[in-house]
Amino acid sequence: MKSLFNGRQARQYRDPLALRAYTSRLLGQNPSLVLHGGGNTSVKAQIKNLLGETIDVLYVKGSGWDLATIEPQGFAPVRMNALSKMARLKNISDAQMVKEQRAAMTDPYAPNPSVEAILHAIIPFRFVDHTHADAVVAVTNTPQGRRSIDKIYGNKVIVIPYVMPGFLLAKKVYEMTRNIDWRRYEGMVLMHHGIFSFHDEAQESYERMIRLVSKAERFIARCGQKKKIHLSGTSAPQQKNNLLDLAKLRKTVSKASGKALIARWNESPKASAFSRWPKIKSIATRGPLTPDHVIRTKPIPVVLSSTIDQDIQSFSSQYDQYFKRFANGHLTRLDLAPRWAVWPGHGIVCFGETFKDARITEDIAEHTMEAIIWAESLGGWKALPAKDIFDVEYWELEQVKLKGKKSRPLDGKIALVTGAASGIGKACAQGLAAQGALVGALDIDRRVETLFAGKEIKGITCDLTKDKDIASAIETIVRQWGGIDIVVSNAGIFPVSAALQNVDEKVWQKSLDINLTGHQKLIKAIIPYLQEGIDPTIIIMASKNVPAPGPGAAAYSVAKAGLTQLGRLAALELAQWGIRVNMIHPNQVFDTAIWSPNVLKERAKHYKMSVTEYKTNNLLKTEIKSTDVAQLVCALAGNIFAKTTGAQIPLDGGNERVI
Catalytic residues: 556
Distances (CA, A) of 560 to 124, 491, 512, 552: 75, 11, 9, 14
Q: How far is 618 from 621, CA to CA, in rounded Å?
A: 5
Residues 580 and 645 sit within 8 Å (Cβ to Cβ): yes
Residues 283 and 244 sit within 8 Å (Cβ to Cβ): no
- Which DSSP string corresponds to 396-429? HHHHHHHHH----TTTT-EEEEESTTSHHHHHHH
Q: How far is 427 from 444, CA to CA, in rounded Å?
A: 17
Q: How far is 561 from 649, CA to CA, in rounded Å?
A: 14
Q: What is the DSSP letter of 126?
A: S
Residue 63 corresponds to which amino acid?
Answer: S
Q: How far is 199 from 188, CA to CA, in rounded Å?
A: 12
Cβ neighbours around 388 below 10 Å, total = 18
What b-and-e string marks burial along 340-357, b requiring 16 or more CB atoms within 10 Å of the CB?
bbbbbebbbbbbbbbbeb
- Which DSSP string corresponds to 45-75? EEEE-TTS-EEEEEEEEBTT--TTT--GGGE
Q: What is the DSSP letter of 33?
A: T
Q: How far is 88 from 99, CA to CA, in rounded Å?
A: 17
| CA dihedral of 634, 639, 644, 648, whole degrees rounded to 10 | -20
Residue 588 corresponds to which amino acid?
Answer: Q
- Give the relative orientation of helices 467-481 and 240-257 as an angle to the nearest 10 degrees: 40
Q: How far is 138 from 143, CA to CA, in rounded Å?
A: 11
Q: How far is 211 from 604, CA to CA, in rounded Å?
A: 75
Q: How far is 582 from 215, CA to CA, in rounded Å?
A: 62
Phi, psi angles (nearest 5°) of residue 523: -60, -45
Phi, psi angles (nearest 5°) of residue 196: -115, 145
Beta bridge partners of 55: 47
- Nearest alpha-carbon partner for 479 in 252, 258, 262: 262
Distances (CA, A) of 74 to 22, 41, 60, 161, 248: 12, 11, 8, 30, 41
Q: How far is 486 from 495, CA to CA, in rounded Å?
A: 28
Q: Which helix (H) or strand (E) holds 521?
A: helix 518-530
Residues 187 and 173 sit within 8 Å (Cβ to Cβ): no
